[in-house]
Chains A and B, each alone.
Chain A
């Protein structure tokens, strides 16, 4: 899976490259409009991570260019411009998703995975890790071939953990993935704990391994081979 990261802030670009490489993607990064244009012209990618404000041009123009060139790359915009119009404009120009800075890398990773699943021609809607199989199209989860009934939030949580497997996910990251940005979470994250607890129970009951590790003070981690 090849990903092109177009972001002019070098440190942020590097962080994304590190994270996504660890997640198993092949990453290339460019820092300017012109370099991005060259890459797009000569190579093809599974997904493009695109910043809007670039030296030498606008990310929205790149989107237009991709559209005119009938490229099929999935595009996720990462922008600091949270204005609703920018978001709508980006999506209208053919972007698949829009992430507002600052974002969690884990969140970016799930979104990219979702885009690649949607774009893949052979209907790759199955995400599997260890003995867990998740069908993202029908929202069905099986462990060792046994169906597990999950609530919507538990399903989202499991998918998030599986895609970011072997990584520590802070409670902030999980909460924001499940409930969005504009909700605030007072004093404690007990309710995340209760979701995790339920999910673990169901997975163990289905004969799965207890692979969700609670990291004291940090968050959670899905430990998978």
Chain B
């Protein structure tokens, strides 16, 4: 729900409730005020009649208007405490029964007891009340309408810089050369947001650069000694001709250096992937890469007498050339390494997915740990245990889905290029 909608909902509800409660209270107050006005009129009339009786010692003639009329009739007993009350009475002039405020009292005149009933018509009071309520309802409607319009126009305009900021953040990439530079805003809150974001990205950017430099330096510091070891081994090898023991030891050192170097490069790549140091905007011909990588491995495939069954559609993705190569490389490396001699490998590439399937001599792989770093199904000297972890990170970065399936004694790795459509 949008903030605006939420705000509007709360605003409208409270407005309506306030107005309703207010109107009800207003109604009662008004009714009370008007009724007491009528009552005062009734009391004035009572005083007038009492005064008239005192002066003339007879009840006055009944005075009748549209709003007030008096009926005087002989009474049997006196009314102790005359009090005005609301009731209905017949208005002779209007010829209808109307709601009235009535005061009945007794008077002593000429030795007789009379009962005087004074009626004050309430029709006008009620008309007035109705008018007032009508006006109030109209006001509520007007206020709601104006609120709605103001919110729509003004609030949208007020929030515009906010949405601009959000859009800028969304498009921001750390690998860009500089931190966010959001403009100053007139509104304090938005300005605060923008300044905070600016400082935050500035800091993140600094950290990012520091980390990037660190990985580059780490790479340099590690690879140079490795290069020294390797070159020395190569030199020693020339002197070791025929000395089998020495040669074996040297080969072990060379293998270890190679592995260390690979391991280090893989870890660096993983760090870079996590840092999102890659722009995924190149147009990459996946079919071509797959074909090239398979051609490169021709000798290897022949040596292991593998049958590779490839069906590949023309697939071009917006991706990163180098990462695409690494991804396919690692998958092919794995499948070639783990397919038994003379096994068959099925590779299917179409616009939605890349699937690589091979015969499995043993059961399914451990799905949970498969993509973890340094996880190996079997302890093998060549494997770094990072290949699939890298593939997974690349997929994560590119928004691809990666899946492992085991069925009919076959491992299958599938990369979905458009997982959200599934």
Contact = CB atoms under 8 A, between A and B. Distances in A.
Interface string B320-333: 00100110010001
Interface string B378-393: 0010110000000000
A217 interface: yes
B299 A80 contact: no
A94 to B, nearest CB: 22
Nearest to A51: B224
A34 B257 CA distance: 32
Interface stretch (B157-165, B240-248, B367-375): B240-248
Interface in B24-81: none
Contacts of B231: 11-12, 15-16, 19, 102, 105
A180 B292 CA distance: 13
A191 interface: yes
A102 B248 CA distance: 21
Interface in B216-233: 216, 219-224, 226-232
Contact of B244 (A9, A19, A81, A217): A217
Contacts of A100: 223
A100 B219 CA distance: 11
Contact of A80 (B222, B297, B336, B337): B222
A224 interface: no
Contacts of A182: 325-326, 329
B237 A186 contact: no
B254 interface: yes
Interface in A134-151: none
Interface of A: 9, 11-12, 15-16, 18-19, 53, 78-84, 100-106, 153, 167-168, 170, 172-173, 179-180, 182-187, 190-191, 194-195, 215-219
Contact of B234 (A19, A153, A184, A217): A19
B329 to A, nearest CB: 5
Interface in B326-356: 326, 329, 333, 336-337
A102 B226 contact: yes
Interface in B150-184: none
Nearest to B330: A182
B216 A102 contact: no
Contacts, number: 126
Given A105-B234, A191-B300, A15 B382 contact: no
B228 A84 contact: no
6 contacts: A12-B231, A101-B227, A105-B234, A184-B382, A187-B382, A215-B241
A56 to B, nearest CB: 16
A11 B296 CA distance: 34
Given A102-B230, A104-B230, A194-B303, 13 more contacts: A11-B231, A19-B234, A81-B216, A83-B216, A103-B230, A168-B237, A182-B326, A183-B300, A184-B382, A185-B300, A186-B382, A215-B241, A218-B241
Contact of A18 (B235, B240, B255, B380): B235
Contacts of B304: 186
B120 to A, nearest CB: 97
A80 B255 contact: no
A177 to B, nearest CB: 13
A82 B265 contact: yes
B258 interface: yes
B230 A80 contact: no
A84 B322 contact: yes
Contact of B228 (A9, A168, A184): A9
Please indicate which of the listed interface residues B222, B235, B268 has the most CB atoms of chain A within 10 Å of its own CB: B235
Contact of A167 (B220, B238, B240, B336): B238
Contacts of B254: 170, 172
Contacts of B227: 9, 12, 78, 80, 101-103
Contacts of A180: 296
Given A15-B231, A16-B231, A186 B336 contact: yes
A19 B241 CA distance: 17
